[in-house]
Structure 1
Amino acid sequence: MSKVLPRLPIHITFFSRSSCALCTNARQNLADAWKLRPFEFAEIDVMEPGQQKWKDVYEFDVPVIHVSKTGKGGVVEEVKKKLMHRFTPEEIVKAWDEVREQGPVHEEK
């Protein structure tokens, strides 16, 4: 019988673009933060086709992360915290902790 892994309580969406040196640093900082506080993760390149909504918002502001809770059934809830441009692993962990403390998270067992 296979074991179902529980979903992680926090989801981070990382907004980037391919020609962004700050995004390379941010990606490493996210990896370092994940070692301390694992999270669900998605990356969106704002310049890719189909991402016009995010391009309009973040084209000149990447890197950006949205920190949200992972709700019941893996649904990502509304954005609770946003970090932009330069952020350290410690700042990501702090945002993770702040979002986690903002009330119940629907964890699957």
Structure 2
Amino acid sequence: LSQDFIRAARARGLSEFKVLKHALKNAFIPILTMMGLQFAILLTGAVLTETTFSWPGMGTFLLERIKYVDYTTIQGTIVFFAIFVSVVNLVVDILYALIDPRIRY
């Protein structure tokens, strides 16, 4: 809250709520970037967790199909994961356009 744009907003007489809203909007941009990047890692970690604790799920299903060399199901599962990650990245890009005033589509 010691950046120049925050001091300028306070100098213009904005209320503390609006100044805080402005600051949080700018602070959320790098957080949003990391959320988008961490999602694919989270999905990979879920596969590892399911395998470790023998929980039934997509990761366990994928590893079981790899063991039985079922190529069609392996491809379908990987395509599902890829589409899911792509949709999350699309949502992150849309949120970028809503949050960051420098980005125009």
Pick the TM interval, shorter chain. Answer: under 0.3
Larger radius of gyration: 2
Structure with the higher fraction of residues in helix conformation: 2
TM superposition score normalised by structure 1: 0.26
Structure with the higher fraction of residues in strand conformation: 1
TM superposition score normalised by structure 2: 0.27
Greater RCO, 1 or 2 (C-alpha within 8 Å, sep 6+): 1
